[in-house]
Amino acid sequence: MGSANKPTPIPTQEEDLPNPTVALLSFSTDASSNPPRKATATTVLFISLILITCVALSAAVAFAFLFFSSPTSKPYSNESNQTFESIVQVARPLTKLNHSVVLLISSDGFRFGYQFKTSTPNIGRLIDNGTEAERGLIPVFPTLTFPNHYSIVTGLYPAYHGIINNHFVDPYTGESFTMGSHEPKWWLGEPLWETIANHGLKAATYFWPGSEVNKGSWTCPVNYCRNYNGSVPFEERVDTVLQYFDLPSSEIPVFMTLYFEDPDHQGHQVGPDDPEITEAVARIDGMIGRLIEGLEKRGVFEDVHIIMVGDHGMVGTCDKKLIYLDDLAPWIDIPKDWVHSYSPLLAIRPPADFSPSDVVMKMNEGLKSGKFENGKNLKMYLKEELPSRLHYMASDRIPPIIGLVEEGFKVEQKRSNRKECGGAHGYDNDFFSMRTVFIGHGPKFARGQKSFHESEYDARQHGFN
């Protein structure tokens, strides 16, 4: 799928998460006490599925008004300012299924705007007859694959669900998290499939970060949970999901996931503006068409809630936009073993006998000196001094020093003769290039709704001079 102070110990149990009110969603999905009747559980789960999927990826809560509205929240609509109550009034009754089904689809790296690169009649059909984030969906920071996918299904920022990067190091044990780490200790919070299993209902996951982890009542059941294998053809993935709708109605999972690596795969290789991206987008649209056709043949298309999202956007990078840490030597030496990640999120954990604040001060002194190539395109922070809108502080897994890299620039340790042009993501989620898509289609989505919620930080400067 997508290409690591003296803190208190890292919580390894979800009940140890600090202050849940700072999560993207403030309600609890804990089903351990007073479990509701099955019919009630299904209703609660459906609302949870919609709320978490819509809200979790957007640090600005950009589209929460589709399903939740408070007196102080004034959503933008091209037709009217609709509250939760007015939207659900347009909900259509199920015609064939006897319970609500949510199918969550991720197209990795589907930057907002890709849908206009070529004819996308099937994605367009979902948009025209459903609900769309008109100006794109704002991912959580860092705008990387694993943090964002797990935020989508938990409703938590990465600092609270524990997956703070695609790769990181536990500062206490020295163990490394990779995209193949399936031990529950890494994955905090409660993902949707676990919530569903805890209620005695069925979920099915066809690839999703965290779905292979045994948590709570979720054991990655055979035939309902697929271990990641990027070589599986997209057509086979779609057809497998369709087969779930051939089960007896009571056996159809209430929640399903479907994951495609494209167009992220192409984006990293050639950047966001290459014809390969256009081809990849057309292929994704074809897979959506294959899915719609299969659901229509089974007579359930209008009954299924299809939610299509991406996890982040993409921006072009090239050799001329490089920042070399070794060039900081006149001000401070940053050894390679201090650096936990380079680009687009620079994360540094110096040894205990070095003051993080001194390191930040000296690095910024060099970067601002005017004698450092591209220095103005990198700004260093103590993590507790990062802009609060990033919500990237409250985990000991986050190294104490974080560098925010300007859009399209990359950080490397030293100069080399390697030549490279391609694409990257992971940057500040304030950049429009990091936005992705949100599309919802189904009985509880308003038809033709174009939505955007102005967040307070959309117009805010991201800190570069």
452 pLDDT higher than 50? yes
Left (φ > 0), alpha (ψ -120 to 50) or beta: where does 177 sit?
beta
Task: Identify the top-confidence range among 31-35, 45-49, 320-324, 358-362.
Answer: 358-362
| CB-based contact 379:417 (threshold 8 Å) | no
pLDDT tens-place string over residues 301-335: 999 999 999 999 999 998 889 999 999 999 999 99
Which residues on neighbouring strands pair with residue 449, listed in sequence order? Answer: 131
Beta bridge partners of 307: 104, 440
* Helix, strand, or coil (residue 417): coil
Is the Cβ–Cβ distance between 356 and 341 less than 8 Å?
Answer: no
**CB-based contact 342:322 (threshold 8 Å):** no
Q: Is 145 a catalytic residue?
A: yes
Q: Which of 145, 195, 205, 257 is catalytic?
A: 145
The span from the CA of 370 to the CA of 376, in Å, is 8
Query: Mean pLDDT throughout 82-102?
Result: 73
Domains and CATH numbers, the chain: 101-315+431-453 (3.40.720.10), 319-420 (3.30.1360.180)
pLDDT for the residue numbered 36: 40
Task: Please state the pTM of the whole predicted model.
Answer: 0.83
3-state class of 410 per DSSP?
A: strand
Residue 20's pLDDT band (cuts 50, 70, 90): very low
